[in-house]
Structures are given as structure tokens and as C-alpha cells.
């Protein structure tokens, strides 16, 4: 065997060993993002924002690809009210409904997994991610499918855009959640 072939085999075996080590340690690469090792919910802030334990510290995380109504009167609730033709109180009520729905799926201490996409943080420093429940369901999609969120895509985080649009259409057609 030539030195060149030996180097190729060593490289290949090293790459396999590194991949196996990453898999065993709980980090699994998937497409553009990665799924972290298990973590848990510390607090549900609203329908699309949470505090989680991430890499040893508490971090706010905003769900990628979805937008739930605001659960408190604030500037965004005012903008949503203007855009939708509803008053701020109606928007806040819908936001509280979305948060209550999320609370039916999880609570503080619930184990989760987080998948990151291309952009890991927003302009406010929050993590951006897809959250997976223990049974494998993606929380982002479940909230849309239940009718408590609309799809909201900002490139480069577009990995599940079509999946979220399909869930949204299903929720609207079946008059789920806010679309009753």
C-alpha cells in the first residue's frame, strides 16, 4: 500500500471516529443545524419564547419560523393590532391562549432537544431554535398545527418553511386554535 493510500485510510478512519464520538456525546449534525444534547425548559415566557438550560447556563430561546400573538401589551402587540384590525386586548388574549396551549405540552423541567439553524441568535441575543419534545414532535410545528401561530420565516433560517406553511394551512382549513 502506498503512503498516499495509507494517509487516506487514516483520514477516513479518523473522520469516522470523530463522527461516532460526536454521536455518542449527544451532538448529532443534521443538515444546516445541529440537535443539542438533552436539556430542559426553565420557564415558558410566551407562546414562542422560553428560558432553557443551554450549555450550562440559562438562555432565552425564540422559536424559529413561527409567530404567536403577544401575551402582554407592548409595541409589537400594538403593531399586530394595527395590522390585523383587532384591538390590543384581543391580541393579548390570543397570546395568552397560545401560551396556555404550550403549557398543555410542557412545563418547567420538561426535557427537550434544541435544533439550531444557520443563524443561532437574533438581534436581541436570544438563541433561535426548533424545540423537540421527548416524543419526537417539533414544538414549533405543533403550535402552528394547533392554530396558535402563523409561519414567520427570516432567511437564512428556512429549513422547515414548507412544513410550517403546510401546518398553517391545515390549521386554517380545520379551524383550529385562533382560526375557530
Reduce the DSSP state of residue 35 to 3 states and report it.
strand
Q: Tell which residue, 105, 104, 165, 163, has the closest CA to residue 132.
A: 105
- Do 115 and 103 lie in one domain? The reply is yes
8 Å CB contact between 167 and 146: no
How many angstroms separate the CA atoms of 176 and 147, rounded? 5
One domain, residues 82 and 158: yes
What would the pLDDT profile of 1-55 be if each residue is shown by its tens digit?
Answer: 777 666 665 654 554 544 433 343 343 334 455 666 689 999 999 999 999 999 8
Report the pLDDT value the prediction gives residue 8, as an integer from 0 to 100: 62
pLDDT score at 102: 98
pLDDT of residue 76: 86
Q: For residues 40 and 110, state if they share a domain.
A: yes
Number of domains in the chain: 2
Residues 86, 117 within the same domain: yes
Q: Is the pLDDT of residue 145 over 80?
A: yes
**What is the DSSP-derived secondary structure letter of residue 108?**
T
CA quadruple 85, 87, 91, 93: dihedral sign: negative
10 plus 72 within the same structural domain = no
pLDDT above 90 as % of the chain: 69
Is residue 101 located within the same domain as residue 62?
yes
Mean pLDDT of 150-166: 97
Same-domain status, 36 and 57 = yes
Domain coverage including residue 93: 31-179
Collapsing DSSP states into helix, strand and coil, what is residue 33?
strand
pLDDT at residue 137, rounded to an integer: 97
Residue 90 cell numbers, joined: 384581543
Amino acid at each position: 500500500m502506498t503512503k498516499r493510500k495509507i494517509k487516506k485510510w487514516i483520514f477516513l478512519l479518523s473522520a469516522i471516529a470523530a463522527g461516532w464520538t460526536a454521536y455518542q456525546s449527544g451532538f448529532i449534525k443534521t443538515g444546516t443545524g445541529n440537535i443539542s444534547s438533552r436539556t430542559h425548559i426553565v420557564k415558558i415566557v410566551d407562546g414562542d419564547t422560553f428560558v432553557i438550560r443551554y450549555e450550562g447556563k440559562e438562555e432565552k430561546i425564540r422559536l424559529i419560523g413561527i409567530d404567536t400573538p403577544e401575551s402582554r401589551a407592548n409595541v409589537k402587540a400594538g403593531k399586530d393590532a394595527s395590522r390585523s384590525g383587532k384591538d390590543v386586548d384581543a391580541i393579548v388574549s390570543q397570546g395568552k391562549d397560545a401560551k396556555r396551549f404550550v403549557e398543555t405540552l410542557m412545563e418547567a423541567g420538561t426535557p427537550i432537544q434544541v435544533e439550531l439553524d444557520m443563524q443561532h441568535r437574533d438581534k436581541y441575543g436570544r438563541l433561535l431554535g426548533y424545540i423537540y419534545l421527548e416524543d419526537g414532535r417539533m414544538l414549533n410545528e405543533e403550535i402552528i398545527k394547533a392554530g396558535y401561530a402563523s409561519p414567520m420565516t427570516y432567511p437564512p433560517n428556512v429549513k422547515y418553511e414548507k412544513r410550517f406553511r403546510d401546518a398553517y394551512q391545515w390549521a386554517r382549513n380545520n379551524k383550529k386554535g385562533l382560526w375557530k
